[in-house]
Chains A and B, each alone.
Chain A
């Protein structure tokens, strides 16, 4: 039941990220989706390595979001010049 609940939330966040028109406001939805995927990875197999996989997935997905957001910031800076 826990996996189904998390899967539903993840799918909803992913669909909302696609449907939102403002690129900048897609980021929070993608963040919620990443939380769901991390939880699903951790719950898939009860083994320390799945915990390490969840850690790696989450930290590097956050790094990606960080990179995308700072690129958007830089693009806006160039546009406003």
Chain B
């Protein structure tokens, strides 16, 4: 079981970081207020672009929220229908937070696909993905802000999103 949680953690981490970086979260503040969070992380000797991404995760439901809510609803509904309900809810959540992006919806749909594949072929339970996603967001938002913001900026540079 511990091994399955670790695999789910890696899948969730890659899923939400890659979608968020590709959809340009580290590039600029998406909604008002993100600038202040990024500035405080920069003053803590982190990286400003990593700070933008962390601020965007805080201020609007993005791919990380999509991943968590899709796995939570997949668990609650015991079927892929839950993932689709979560995608719809995240879409409206984005609009309520005046964020024009599609990161959350994309994240919820891809997570539904991953859980469907992993549970039908490898015997994973959706609750492993819930635990994996909580661990994944913990490593980004709560473990060490300086390190995680630099890591996010480095990934964004590798993928060619920022200079």
Contact = CB atoms under 8 A, between A and B. Distances in A.
A39 to B, nearest CB: 5
> SS class of chain A's interface: helix, strand, loop or mixed?
helix
B76 A50 contact: yes
B1 interface: yes
Given A39-B134, A63-B96, A66-B31, A28 B141 contact: yes
B131 interface: yes
B68 A58 contact: yes
B157 interface: no
B89 interface: yes
Nearest to A36: B134
Contacts of B60: 62, 66
Nearest to B2: A1
A28 B58 contact: yes
Interface residues of A, number: 47
Contacts of B97: 62-63, 66
Q: Is the interface of B mostly helix, strand, loop or mixed?
A: helix
Interface in B120-144: 127-128, 130-131, 133-135, 137-138, 141-142
Contacts of B34: 69
B35 interface: yes
B100 interface: no
Interface residues of B, number: 52
A18 interface: no
A6 B134 contact: yes
B30 to A, nearest CB: 10
Closest 4 CB pairs of A and B: A51-B76, A69-B33, A42-B72, A24-B40
Given A39-B133, A55-B72, A55-B73, 6 more contacts: A2-B131, A9-B138, A39-B72, A42-B76, A63-B96, A73-B33
20 contacts: A1-B1, A12-B142, A13-B141, A13-B142, A25-B41, A28-B145, A31-B137, A32-B137, A43-B75, A48-B76, A51-B86, A54-B69, A55-B85, A58-B68, A58-B69, A59-B65, A62-B93, A69-B37, A70-B31, A71-B33
Interface of B: 1, 5, 31-37, 39-41, 43-44, 54-55, 57-61, 64-65, 68-69, 72-73, 75-78, 82, 85-86, 89-90, 92-93, 96-97, 127-128, 130-131, 133-135, 137-138, 141-142, 145
